Amino acid sequence: MNRYSRQTLFSPIGIDGQEKIRKKHVLIVGMGALGSAIAETLTRAGVGKLTIIDRDYVEESNLQRQLLYSERDAQERVPKAEAAKKRLNEINQDVDVGSIVGEADAQLLESVAPDMDLIMDGTDNFETRFIMNDIAHKFRIPWIFGSCVGSFGSAFTIIPGETPCLQCLMKKLPMNGQTCDTVGIIAPTVQMVTAYQTAEALKILSENNNALRNTYVTFDLWQNQTLSIKADATKNPDCYTCGHHPTYPNLHYEVATKTAVLCGRNTVQIRPSGCSNISIEGLTIQWRKAGYEVSGNPYLVSVLKGDYRMVLFKDGRALIHGTNDVAMAKKVYHSLIG
């Protein structure tokens, strides 16, 4: 216990709380900026078991804010889940770290969720977050949302049966669609979001739920602004995720994003669920400000990102040219669309 002596001296946790933390199993979905910082904090805090999931590999542009990775990891393109596991084992051998290199889709999350005490959001897209939201409510597991871009961040703790879910929240507090690839991000934004997330995690893991934050917190570090919003009123009794008659829609195949490799074209088609008209003009302005080469017409927009070209249609459908790899195509899509 000497290792955690400063943590146990904190009276709300104490020795009893530390023992509770040691017996808990946490799932972290996404091992980018948020996920890697969350994983390091919980590993140093002595959580009993971590399961980490990520589909991506380490790149040089990650090193500015993703704390667990080295230049060698980027040079060798090591999968983030494996690079993170190696580093976490070096930090604290007492923590059982399990890594999964793969897509955090409904099937995978349903298979691992029953063993979890807490789910942590380290993702970079709302498609995966809505799947996590349904999984958490189906299995009655607390989960902690976090999001950041530029100098702006937000966090919210979701307790099934008590708080509004992410679907309820986003209908009242819509996101702006910006991504780190279009407006950038500074490392302190990540650290601030994960400070909120991991503080809430320690409360849940040590069974101090009475201390949980009951507001949606959002901030802009550059503009020195912080806002804490009471979210209780956003809870919808008819919500398909957290309402009286849940159906967990994001776990159903028919509402999932569809992908198809186009034969002989080195192209992947992505069709998100619930396609509707989008603002091609707004995206064109955003991408040009970020320095991307953009062209198009009233029906579609084409944007060049590195070795890949994405053509986006007004109905939300996209063609990712330059790859037959579905995972890479989805990575390009989410980096530009959000």
Active site residues: 180
DSSP symbol at 253: G
**Cβ atoms within 10 Å of 89's Cβ, excluding its own:** 13
Q: 307: Cβ–Cβ under 8 A, 6 or more apart, which residues?
A: 322
How far apart (Å, rounded) are the C-alpha atoms in residues 132 and 89? 26
Which 3 state secondary structure label does DSSP give 193?
helix
Amino acid at 204: I
Per-residue burial over 149-177, b if 16 or more Cβ lie within 10 Å, else e, is bbbbbbbbbbbbeebbbbbbbbeeeeeeb
Whether the Cβ atoms of residue 56 and residue 82 lie closer than 8 Å to each other: no
The number of angstroms, rounded, from the C-alpha of 259 to the middle of its chain's C-alpha atoms is: 21
Whether the Cβ atoms of residue 27 and residue 113 lie closer than 8 Å to each other: yes
